[in-house]
Amino acid sequence: AAAEVTTAAPDVDDTDNVNEEEEYAAWKLRELHRIKRDRSEAEEREAAKDDIERRRTMTDAEIMAEKAKDGTLSKGSRDHNGEKPKHR
């Protein structure tokens, strides 16, 4: 079976400029997707940076309050049930 695989003739046509307009349009779409993806990544980075800046100016209590609101407050801290975390 392996030998068959090696000798299989390429059955996909890779000839260019058959329909140049269509090929260009398809590329344009791909390139626009990439631009959009890169932009949204940059926006995410900016947002994360701004968030870090904002947190830096907050007090611990404020951060705790915000985390509690988001539901991202980590469990297992001592003040929850009076026990120390098992692993240190």
Question: Which residue number, 21 or 60, has a Cβ lying nearer to other proteins?
Answer: 21
Q: Tell me whether residue 6 or residue 57 sits nearer to other proteins (CB atom).
A: 6
Per the CB < 8 A criterion, the answer to whether 17 and 23 are in contact is yes
Matching residue, tokens 């049930």:
81
Span interacting with other proteins, options 7-15, 52-60, 62-70, 72-80, rule CB under 8 A: 7-15
Alpha carbon distance 41, 46 (integer Å): 9
Nearest Cα to Cα of residue 64 among 74, 54, 52 = 74
Secondary structure of residue 85 in the 3-state scheme: coil
CB of residue 83 to other proteins, shortest distance in Å: 41
CB 2 within 8 A of CB 8: no
Using the rule CB under 8 A, give the single segment among 22-30, 58-66, 74-82 that binds other proteins: 22-30
Q: Least distance from C-beta 52 to other proteins, angstroms?
A: 15
Nearer to other proteins, 5 or 61 (CB): 5
